[in-house]
Amino acid sequence: MANQSVIAVYPGTFDPMTLGHEDVVRRAIQLFEKVIVAVAAGHHKKAMFSLTERIEMAREVVKAYPQVTVESFSGLLRDFVVARGGKAMVRGLRAVTDFDYEFQLAGMNRSLMPEVETVFLTPSDKYQFISSTFVREIAVLGGEIDKFVSPTVQRRLQEKVRSLGGP
């Protein structure tokens, strides 16, 4: 039963959104009344897709979930979460290698916004090894990506690779 008063924010660059990300969203909506997928402008990472493209893809992927919205943010995540009334921040953990970074990030976020809890969710076993970075690399090299992303994301990724001169 979802907590009727808690808004959760699921931040990331989502470049592109994978089936693992979608699985984390599905898990989050079991716990929270509203989930905001917060697409980072990505000032610290070089993204393959523009912010607008990443937002469009995320919206296509989550359109079946009426309690999920997709918004962009830049600057401090803290400001975005507080402005939206968020009380929880969802983070996906794939493997133990993610834990150290995520644990440090959660500590920093707790310092910046003590009223917001970080909730770690793990995707299904079949999605735990998927990363956007690997999916982009496989696509650029002409490999099959249909097991890692939704059909709409697959189409957009293949179009993007072709536009960049790839296979």
Let me know if 156 is a catalytic residue.
no
DSSP 147: T
* Whether 21 is catalytic: yes
> Which of 27, 54, 132, 150 does the annotation list as catalytic?
132
Catalytic, 163? Answer no
Q: Where does residue 157 fall: left (phi above 0), alpha (psi -120 to 50 degrees), or beta otherwise?
A: alpha
**What distance in Å separates the CA atoms of residue 83 and residue 26, rounded to the nearest whole number?**
24
Identify the CA nearest to 84 among candidates 69, 64, 101, 99. 69
Q: Which residue among 45, 63, 147, 155 is the active-site one?
A: 45
Bridge partners of 40, per DSSP, are 73
Q: Which residue in 26, 59, 84, 94 is the catalytic one?
A: 94
Q: Is 45 designated active site?
A: yes
SS3 content of the chain, % helix, strand, coil (to 5): 45, 20, 35
Catalytic residue among 21, 91, 136, 160: 21
Known catalytic residues are 21, 45, 94, 132
